[in-house]
């Protein structure tokens, strides 16, 4: 090893603990904002949460799109979307979808087809190995979200560095004068509105406004939006009503020439809710919202073969599982760590299809039949009550169905287990109350909140399987709090357990697994420098190598997060060499 490289690695390893802790804490503070919404960091792509809460329109508070929490059984039996299952052409616009896909920046041969299982989708015309960059897509319109406006460039989405604030509205920021000039064609219109109303409209409204402003400047481009699925005929009236109110806000935020008539405005909102995406950073933390008209053609699977990652605002679809010729290319729309029934309900309520992907069908087929003991969904499972076994057990039916006692046999230890359903539900209900109270306290005092989360965890640990959705949520929260409190030992214990849970839920190439492994290595590095022994460095080295291998597949060799992990690995290898040479 060269002296120069040794010096570099030594310098980086020797950085103050405070600096390293600040990096971890900064990341966790952002994660806290996302976990407060109850979402799994980095998997929820579509930008719906921005519309879920009620708002005072006159005050331009955080308007949210419809929550789609009401359950409306559909007659459709797959991902099929009514408007586009018959042909490969949007009849209204006369635009061939395969003409559209030919304009995409793709690295593999693919085409748009329709199938009985998933409706319109993109299918591979060749075998695609994992790690392949399948396609890239630039947004039709994009905005930085409210929480990040002052720390992310509103044009190129670069994060960090010294940003320049717009001198007029003082709402948007840019990393350079060049970015400010490049964004001026759009921002000059919204800037006047921001000054006039003297407050920033919420993220969703700003994105809708940018779509309309671009349409005003380039009418032909709007065909990309009109070509998107809207499912307007499937929206219930109570879900349309908020759009009417939001349309009034939009009318005050765009030039008169950009305003659509009422019917077309509702159509735009419907398309927006069906096709918008969160823009995420390398750690899969949302920091903006956008419309990607090409990527919207890709269907959902709870066990996808591709993943969406971003370089600034550029979206990239990367293959994480080998795809065979004629196989459909899929991504995930929602948090796939949720139990199957919750995923299906969310997809049906939000996107109006019943998911029949391989994962959903696997658990639906076996959960309540002969082989249920061998095919238990870990996301909703209880744990075996045998102290020497922690296998997943199918949960009992609800008391509402008249089931008071539940008996099961563990498929691993063969122990017959008896559950008092009322007792199980009562204890889990108490745990949920502790969790909710702890969440309310977090903004005030982490030290008080952590007691409630530990009580939650104690109850759940006795009853729930390690990969149970609620168990994972509690562990993630505890990791965040202990990092904030600089209690690295406890943060590490929970973070290591999260890796085990993620291995159960996700494929070895899934980005959330790789990022959790990397996060755990960073927690290790936050320990007091003198306390890090050779065995610790060897463990960190092992974690970083695994994280790097996964991120090279999901993010690519040149992505900033991959480069960061690689640099950390170099540093650890250098320090490990020095310690072993002592």
DSSP notation for 239-295: HHHHHHHHHHHHHTTS-GGGPPPHHHHHHHHHHHHHHEEEEE-TTS-EEEEEE-TTG
Q: 437 vs 113, which has greater pLDDT?
A: 437
What is the predicted pLDDT for the residue at 101? 57
Residue 257 has pLDDT above 80, yes or no: yes
CB 523 within 8 A of CB 483: yes
Q: What confidence tier does 56 reach under pLDDT thresholds 50, 70, 90?
A: very low
Q: What confidence tier does 252 reach under pLDDT thresholds 50, 70, 90?
A: confident
Q: Which of 315, 264, 269 is closest to 290 using CA atoms?
A: 315
Residue 14 has pLDDT above 80, yes or no: no
- DSSP state, residue 201: P
Residue 529, judged by CB atoms within 10 A of its CB (0-12, 13-18, 19+), counts as middle
Q: What is the mean pLDDT of residues 270-284?
A: 90
Residue extent(s) of CATH 1.25.40.10 domains in the chain:
3-43+423-581
CA–CA separation, 81 and 385 (whole Å): 44
Q: Which fold has domain 3-43+423-581?
A: 1.25.40
Give the angle 57-59-62 at the CA atoms, nearest 5°: 70
Q: The whole model's pTM is what?
A: 0.81
Residue 164 has pLDDT above 70, yes or no: yes
Residue extent(s) of CATH 2.170.270.10 domains in the chain:
44-149+200-375
Q: Give the chain's mean pLDDT.
A: 80
Q: What confidence tier does 72 reach under pLDDT thresholds 50, 70, 90?
A: very low
Q: 42 vs 111, which has greater pLDDT?
A: 111
Range in 26-35, 256-265, 351-360, 448-457 the model is least confident about = 26-35
CA–CA separation, 115 and 78 (whole Å): 10
Q: 370 vs 315, which has greater pLDDT?
A: 315
Q: Tell me the CB-side half-sphere exposure of residue 67, using CA atoms within 13 A.
A: 7
Q: Which of 105, 106, 87 is closest to 97 using CA atoms?
A: 87
- DSSP state, residue 464: B
Residue 145 has pLDDT above 90, yes or no: yes
Residue 372 has pLDDT above 70, yes or no: no
Q: 406 vs 213, which has greater pLDDT?
A: 213
The beta-strand segments (E) located in 356-404 are 382-383, 392-393
CATH number of the structural domain 44-149+200-375: 2.170.270.10
Q: 33 vs 310, which has greater pLDDT?
A: 310
What is the predicted pLDDT for the residue at 19? 44
Question: What is the phi-psi region of residue 487: left when phi exceeds 0, alpha when psi lies from -120 to 50, beta otherwise?
Answer: beta
Residue 524 has pLDDT above 90, yes or no: yes
Q: What confidence tier does 85 reach under pLDDT thresholds 50, 70, 90?
A: very low
Residue 277, judged by CB atoms within 10 A of its CB (0-12, 13-18, 19+), counts as buried
Q: 280 vs 579, which has greater pLDDT?
A: 280
What is the predicted pLDDT for the residue at 97? 56
Q: What confidence tier does 577 reach under pLDDT thresholds 50, 70, 90?
A: confident
Q: What is the mean pLDDT of residues 262-267?
A: 91
Q: Which of 160, 159, 74, 84 is closest to 118 using CA atoms?
A: 84
- DSSP state, residue 105: E
Contacts of 527 (CB under 8 A, 6+ apart): 17, 488, 489, 536
Residue 433 has pLDDT above 80, yes or no: yes
């Amino acid at each position: 090893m060269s002296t120069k490289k040794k010096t570099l690695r030594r310098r980086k390893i020797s950085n103050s603990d405070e600096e390293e802790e600040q990096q971890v804490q900064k990341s966790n503070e952002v994660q806290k904002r996302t976990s407060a919404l109850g979402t799994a960091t980095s998997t929820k792509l579509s930008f719906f949460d921005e519309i879920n809460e009620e708002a005072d329109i006159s005050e331009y508070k955080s308007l949210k799109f419809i929550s789609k929490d009401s359950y409306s059984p559909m007659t459709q039996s797959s991902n099929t979307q009514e408007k586009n299952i018959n042909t490969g052409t949007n009849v209204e616009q006369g635009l061939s979808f395969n003409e559209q896909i030919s304009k995409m920046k793709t690295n593999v041969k693919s085409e748009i087809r329709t199938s009985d299982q998933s409706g319109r989708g993109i299918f591979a015309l060749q075998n695609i190995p994992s790690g392949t960059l399948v396609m890239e897509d630039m947004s039709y319109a994009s905005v930085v979200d409210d929480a990040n406006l002052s720390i992310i460039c509103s044009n190129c989405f670069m994060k960090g560095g010294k940003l320049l604030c717009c001198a007029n509205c003082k709402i948007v920021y840019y990393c350079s004068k060049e970015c400010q000039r490049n964004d001026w064609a759009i921002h000059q219109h919204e800037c006047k509105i921001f000054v006039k109303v003297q407050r920033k409209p919420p993220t969703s409204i700003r994105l809708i406004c940018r779509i309309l402003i671009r349409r005003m400047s380039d009418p032909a481009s709007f065909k990309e939006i009109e070509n998107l699925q809207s499912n307007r005929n499937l929206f219930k009236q109570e879900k349309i009503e908020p759009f009417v109110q939001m349309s009034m806000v939009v009318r005050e935020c765009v030039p008169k020439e950009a305003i659509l008539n009422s019917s077309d405005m509702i159509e735009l909102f419907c398309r927006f809710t069906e096709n918008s995406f969160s823009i995420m950073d390398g750690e899969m933390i949302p920091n903006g919202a956008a419309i990607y008209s090409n990527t919207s053609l890709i269907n959902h699977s709870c066990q996808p073969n591709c993943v969406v990652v971003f370089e600034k605002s550029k979206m990239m679809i990367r293959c994480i599982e080998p795809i065979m010729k004629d196989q459909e290319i899929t991504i995930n729309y929602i948090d796939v760590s949720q139990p199957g029934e919750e995923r299906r309900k969310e997809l049906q309520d939000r996107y109006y299809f019943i998911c029949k992907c391989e994962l959903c069908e696997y658990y639906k087929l076996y959960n309540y039949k002969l082989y249920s003991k061998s095919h238990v969904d870990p996301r909703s499972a209880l744990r075996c009550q045998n102290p020497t076994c922690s296998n997943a057990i199918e949960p009992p039916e609800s008391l509402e169905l008249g089931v008071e006692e539940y008996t099961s046999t563990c498929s691993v230890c063969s122990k017959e287990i008896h559950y008092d359903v009322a007792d199980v539900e009562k204890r889990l209900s108490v745990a949920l109350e502790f969790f909710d109270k702890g969440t309310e306290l977090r903004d005030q005092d982490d030290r008080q909140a952590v007691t409630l989360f530990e009580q939650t965890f104690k109850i759940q640990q006795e009853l729930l399987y390690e990969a149970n959705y609620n168990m994972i949520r509690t562990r993630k929260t505890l990791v965040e709090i202990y990092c904030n409190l600089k209690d690295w030992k406890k943060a590490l214990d929970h973070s290591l357990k999260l890796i085990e849970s993620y291995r159960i839920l996700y494929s070895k190439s899934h980005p959330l697994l790789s990022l959790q492994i990397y996060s755990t290595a960073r927690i290790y590095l936050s320990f007091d420098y003198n306390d890090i022994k050779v065995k610790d460095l060897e463990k960190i080295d092992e974690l970083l190598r695994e994280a790097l291998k996964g991120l090279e597949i999901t993010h690519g060799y040149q992505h900033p997060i991959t480069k960061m992990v690689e640099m950390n690995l170099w540093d650890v290898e250098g320090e490990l060499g020095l310690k072993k040479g002592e």
